[in-house]
Amino acid sequence: MSRVDKEKSVNVQVLLRCRPFSDDELRSNAPQVVTCNDYQREVAVTQTIAGKQIDRVFTFDKVFGPTARQRDLYDQAIIPIVNEVLEGFNCTIFAYGQTGTGKTYTMEGECRRAKSGPEGQLPSDAGVIPRAVKQIFDTLERQNTEYSVKVTFLELYNEEITDLLAPEEISKVALEERQKKPLPLMEDGKGGVLVRGLEEEIVTNCSEIFSLLERGSAKRRTAETLLNKQSSRSHSLFSITIHIKEATPEGEELIKCGKLNLVDLAGSENICRSGAREGRAREAGEINKSLLTLGRVITALVEHLGHVPYRDSKLTRLLRDSLGGRTKTCIIATVSPSVHCLEETLSTLDYAHRAKSIKNRPEVNQKMMKSTLIKDLYGEIDRLKAEVYAAREKVGVYIPKDRYQMEENERKAMADQIEQMTASLETNQKQITDLQEKYDSELQHSADLSKKLEATEKCLDHTSNLLSTTKEDLKQAHYNLKEKEFIISEQKKAENALAHQACVLRSELEKSSRDNASLHSKIARGDKLSAANRSVVNSFQADLASKLDILSSTLTASIDQQNKHLKAVEVLCQSCVDSHDTATLEIKKKILASKSLYMSHMEAFQNIVLLHKANTNSTLEDVSSLSAASCCSLDQLLACVEGEALKIFTDIQSLLADHRSELAHFTKELRDSFCISLDRTKDMSSFILGLFEKYTEETSKLQNHSNHTHEAQVKSLEEFQKAYEEQSKSEEQRLLADITSLVSKHIVRQRELVRLDLHVPLGQFVCK
């Protein structure tokens, strides 16, 4: 991988680890809501919202389910990071998650007993830190180069930094003192931060680191909460700085530097659920506050906001370079699989998922010339010497130049802080004046209230007077009430007597209603009969209608037939008239032809006569023969014409005879069909007449029956009415008599009572 590639911006790598169920969770049979798919790098959280099961799925760079071992996580995710540290990068690995989800287990594991075994192997529960340390030393040993390894281990508790590697002798003497005296966090003037006075331990092998780690972890503040028996109450930062000597081809010696920060954050927690109280609650508050600032920093980085609030907490100041800086960062988010932690699990997943979008621009640390490093170290020695000298001689305050610069920076930061505080003081003062105003208004309000109280007291006196008079009234009212109660009891008695009468009346009424019911049943029977009659009439009507239908269809059929016959007669007559016309025309033509022949013969005869006359004296014989011939031919012609005329007449006569016979046949047919239809119509009308007669008979019967029923009903109703009227009249009279006697008794009793009250003799009272 080229240097240019490595210097490109890279996203923060986010791993998700879900721990197995704890013994408590197994005991309480807590349902599982987190499912991990290590291969697809997905985590699914099952939620039930409004009775509906909803799965939320999150994808991370790597996912480790409850069955994943420490070794799996380290081999798959951490080895490449440590290799990059050995190549000269600064890398940070930090664990984030709810309390009791396995952050310390993941980062440290069984590191307190993690001193490597005889073959240098670690226990299977060893976490990231011991494994990273082992990998670093193994690699450095293998490379067979000169190196130096320094470690620091600090704790951030309630926004105060303490050194977990402070020398034993000091910590034994005044551990409490040291814990109270936090180490200052300062700007290093190069854009970074440094913790002044933090011990840097040079280590040469794994076991040295392990014992330091054990020492530091033992000092870390832990406490038992409801969610974790040994809950870390502080954030811890374990840093390993490695310097490796390298030689250039020119034979120059360079120093390569890499740093690995391993952060175990305190658990985010729900203060109520973790059972934190008083001091613990304050701790939890501080932990949540610093984690909140971490969240805000992540949000600002993800959303590319102009201002990233690193300065708002020491945690974010310490992690500044790891979040959006030049460090390669890996976050291990830890969650529990149980439904009891669902809310916090979702919040951790959201938090971690957002952090995936943070981009860092990792830069390999500049390799230093060995000579420059030696120079730097000499400078450091001088600085320390000067400090030692100043401390030994106690001659005023000696501050070396760079230290002065540092303190100057610190002073500036302080001045900024003072400015901020002044501003907040001003706002506080403003709030105080506001409060004063509120206080004044409250005073005014209370004065008003006292006035109101006075008025209310007066009102109370008045009300007490009223109460005493009301009591008197009440006494009187009680007396009146008793009197009324007596009257009411008497009235009740009278009412009971009336009720008895009413009962008697009701029984009478019931009897009459029974009569009524029988009457109704009779009416119902009559109705039933009428209905039966109606159905007979209806069926008769339907029958009649069907018969009439048949008749009308027969009539229409016969009319159709007659129409057809008439049409045939018309056609026949027409053809007869036509043939008659043609025959007459032919006769006319033949007569005309014979006439013209006769005329021509007559003409010829006249011509002959004329010729005879003109030729005078031609022989008489010729003439007579000619005339005879002419006569003969004329006779022949006439005979011929006569024959033809006769023939025509006979034709006409035969034609007319044919027509006559046809007409006679047709007339006969017509008459027959008329006779048939007449017979049918006669049948039909006789049937209808019969029906009508039957119908009339039935109707009259029905009429009689209904009249009879009606009469019976009217009679029974009249009887009932009469009986009822008589009964009610007698009842009324009896009741009236009863009521009158009761009322008179009551009046007498009341009079008696009043008389007794007024101690007046009866006779006197009556007179009055």
Residue 100 found at the interface with ligand ATP (CB under 6 A): yes
Binding span for ligand ATP by CB under 6 A among 99-107, 549-557, 587-595, 603-611: 99-107
Taking the complex as a whole, the smallest distance from the CB of residue 252 to ligand ATP amounts, in Å, to 46
Cα→Cα distances 615→547, 602, 626, 628, Å: 99, 19, 15, 19
- Which pair of structure tokens corresponds to residue 60? 């991370």
Least Å from the CB of residue 127 to ligand ATP: 9
Sign of the alpha-carbon torsion through 607, 608, 613, 615: positive
Report 668-727 residues binding ligand ATP (CB under 6 A): none
* Residue 274: CB minimum distance to ligand ATP, A: 8
Number of residues that bind ligand ATP (CB under 6 A): 18
Instruction: Give Cα separations from 192 to 320, 355, 673 (angstroms).
Output: 8, 21, 135
Could you report how far apart the first and last alpha carbons of the chain are, in Å? 135
Closest by alpha carbon to 67, among 136, 26, 124, 18?
18
**Residue 101 known to bind ligand:** yes
Out of 102, 295, 325, 362, which residue is the one contacting ligand ATP (CB under 6 A)? Answer: 102
Q: Which of 148, 318, 324 is nearest to 238 (CA)?
A: 318
233 or 259, CB closer to ligand ATP?
Answer: 233
184 binds ligand ATP per the rule CB under 6 A: no
In whole angstroms, give the CA distance from residue 155 to residue 183.
10
Q: Copy the structure tokens of residue 763.
A: 């006779």
104 is in an annotated binding site: yes
Distances (CA, A) of 36 to 67, 181, 268, 414: 10, 45, 22, 48
Distances in Å between the Cα of 540 and the Cα atoms of 231, 546, 693 are: 106, 10, 12
- Other beta carbons within 10 angstroms of residue 175's beta carbon come to 14
Establish if 127 lies at the interface with ligand ATP (CB under 6 A). no
Using CB under 6 A as the binding rule, whether residue 93 contacts ligand ATP is answered as: no
CB 333 within 8 Å of CB 97: yes
With binding defined as CB under 6 A, does residue 105 bind ligand ATP? yes
Please tell me the distance from the alpha carbon of residue 345 to that of residue 533, in angstroms, as a whole number: 89
Residue 349 CB, shortest distance to ligand ATP, in Å, is 15
Each residue 226-265 as x (binds ligand ATP by CB under 6 A) or -, in order, gives --x-xxx---------------------------------
| Residue with smaller CB distance to ligand ATP, 222 or 562 | 222
Q: Was 115 annotated as part of a binding site?
A: no
Which region, judged by CB under 6 A, interacts with ligand ATP, from 100-108, 151-159, 591-599, 664-672? 100-108
> Binding residue per annotation — 97?
yes
**Which contiguous run of DSSP H or E holds residue 528?**
helix 401-614
Min dist CB 347 to ligand ATP, Å, is 14
| Rounded Cα distance, 768 and 708, in Å | 69
Give yes or no for residue 88 binding ligand ATP (CB under 6 A). Answer: no
Measured from the CB atom, is 18 or 242 closer to ligand ATP?
A: 18
Q: For ligand ATP, which is the closer residue by CB, 218 or 423? A: 218
**Sites for ligand ATP among residues 5-64 (CB under 6 A):** 19-20, 22
**Is 103 annotated in some ligand binding site?**
yes
| Minimum distance of ligand ATP from residue 11's CB (angstroms) | 24
Q: CB 307 → ligand ATP: shortest distance, Å?
A: 30
Q: Are 604 and 640 in contact (CB under 8 A)?
A: no
Is residue 441 a contact point for ligand ATP (CB under 6 A)?
no
8 A C-beta contact, residue 152 and residue 239? yes
In whole angstroms, give the CA distance from residue 250 to residue 723.
148
What tokens were used for 459? 């009102």
- Kindly indicate which of the ranges 92-100, 308-316, 435-443, 492-500 contains the residues binding ligand ATP, using the contact rule CB under 6 A: 92-100
CB of 341 to ligand ATP, least distance (A): 11
- Residue 106 CB partners (closer than 8 Å, separation 6+): 17, 70, 73, 95, 127, 128, 332, 334
| Least separation in angstroms between CB 102 and ligand ATP | 3
* Residues β-bridged to residue 245: 255
Interaction between residue 65 and ligand ATP (CB under 6 A) = no
Q: Least distance (Å) from ligand ATP to the CB of residue 131? A: 14
Token pair of 476 as six digits: 């009187």
Q: With b meaning 16 or more CB within 10 Å and e meaning fewer, what string describes 330-349?
A: bbbbbbbbbbbbbebbbbbb
User: Which residues are bridge partners to 53 per DSSP?
Assistant: 48
What are the tokens at 495?
């009412």
Site map (CB under 6 A) of ligand ATP, residues 283-322, x = contact: ----------------------------------------
Closer CB to ligand ATP, residue 268 or residue 360?
268
User: Was 366 annotated as part of a binding site?
Assistant: no
The nearer residue to ligand ATP, 40 or 67, going by C-beta atoms, is 67
Task: Mark the binding-site residues for ATP, compressed into ranges.
Answer: 97-104
Task: Mark the binding-site residues, compressed into ranges.
Answer: 97-104
- Residues lying near ligand ATP in the complex (CB under 6 A) are found at 19-20, 22, 97, 99-105, 228, 230-232, 266-267, 334
